[in-house]
């Protein structure tokens, strides 16, 4: 799969936007058709293992994904994550998006790539290209096998808080900007800086004078998992869509035995006591004894 590349051109016509009611609803529809929930708020972290609270429309990060779902503890690889290329259908090509609105949302929600200067008046429309789509998964078997390494605090939080179970992302995003007269806008570092401000560690470049390429992976959709009480690392429920009241529509997994129940994310209750810890196989993740935790 190393040489596999999938490119999808995503564009929005005025007719499509009108039929969906708003640019935000149209973007949600595009992601939902792939079996994921569209990110609707900017997050400091958006990958698999990110523990969340709040509501889908006002989501907060409880902990960085490496806190309770680390890739490495000491010199030991946990193998908790794996990725696979995915085949996104080429159904939204040959259209442009307006400069602003959904373009600003596309850059900011999920993991923040850039903040758009809506007042920038040299660009009228934008052509967007997603290059290299993939899905990031949690290896649930590896997580069950290693659950005894999780700290008491992580176990307590995971009894009530959902986390990102799968994440849809693209490896690169390419943009070409069009002026009011229909001509492409030539790009320079100064023009790009006036147009948008990039997030920390975001890698970008100007290609052939007219294309802005962001090579930092962008998370665009997600599914959430819920472990619940008395479940040693087994994901009992998951959600890939929202109810009409915009709560996570949780469904039972084959491994879980809980009844289906659409719920909103609950905040961690004050004064909550840690769950009864499992027998520790080694030093717990997320504790000082675990040593250095390797981030992505």
185-237 pLDDT tens trace: 999 999 999 999 998 889 999 999 999 999 999 998 999 999 988 788 999 99
Q: What is the pLDDT of residue 92?
A: 46
CB within 8 A of 253, min separation 6: which ones?
A: 235, 236, 237, 238
Q: What is the pLDDT of residue 37?
A: 94
Q: What is the pLDDT of residue 215?
A: 96
The CA–CA distances, whole Å, from 98 to 81, 93, 95 equal 36, 15, 10
The pTM score is 0.75
Tokens for 103? 């373009």
**Cα distance between residue 185 and residue 183, in whole Å:** 6
> Which of the residues in the chain have pLDDT under 50?
1-23, 91-94, 258-283, 288-296
Q: What is the pLDDT of residue 167?
A: 94
Q: What is the pLDDT of residue 54?
A: 87
The CA–CA distances, whole Å, from 19 to 14, 142, 275 equal 9, 44, 49
Q: What is the pLDDT of residue 27?
A: 65
Tokens for 133? 């789509």
């Amino acid at each position: 799969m190393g040489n596999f590349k999938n490119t999808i051109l995503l564009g929005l016509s005025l007719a499509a936007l009108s039929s969906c009611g708003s640019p935000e609803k149209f973007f949600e529809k595009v992601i939902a058709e792939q079996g994921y929930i569209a990110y609707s708020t900017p997050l400091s972290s958006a990958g698999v293992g990110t523990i969340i609270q709040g509501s889908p429309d006002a989501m907060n990060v409880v902990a960085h994904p490496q806190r309770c779902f680390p890739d490495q503890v000491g010199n030991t690889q946990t193998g908790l994550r794996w990725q696979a290329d995915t085949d996104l259908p080429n159904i939204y090509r040959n259209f442009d998006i307006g400069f602003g609105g959904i373009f600003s949302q596309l850059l900011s929600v999920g993991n923040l790539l850039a903040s758009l200067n809506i007042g920038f008046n040299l660009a009228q429309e934008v052509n967007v290209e997603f290059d290299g789509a993939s899905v990031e998964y949690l290896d649930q078997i590896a997580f069950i096998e290693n659950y005894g390494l999780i700290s008491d605090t992580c176990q307590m939080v995971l009894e009530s808080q959902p986390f990102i179970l799968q994440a849809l992302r693209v490896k690169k995003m390419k943009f070409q900007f069009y002026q009011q007269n229909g001509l492409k806008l030539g790009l320079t570092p100064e023009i790009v800086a006036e147009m948008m401000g990039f997030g920390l560690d975001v890698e970008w470049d100007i290609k052939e004078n007219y294309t802005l390429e962001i090579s930092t992976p962008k998370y665009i959709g997600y599914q959430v998992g819920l472990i619940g009480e008395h479940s040693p690392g087994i994901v009992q429920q998951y959600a890939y869509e929202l109810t009409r009241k915009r709560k996570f529509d949780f469904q039972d997994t084959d491994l879980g035995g809980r009844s289906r129940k659409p719920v909103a994310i609950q905040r961690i209750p004050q004064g909550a006591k840690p769950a009864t810890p499992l027998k520790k196989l080694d030093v717990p993740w997320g504790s000082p004894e675990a040593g250095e935790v390797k981030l992505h």
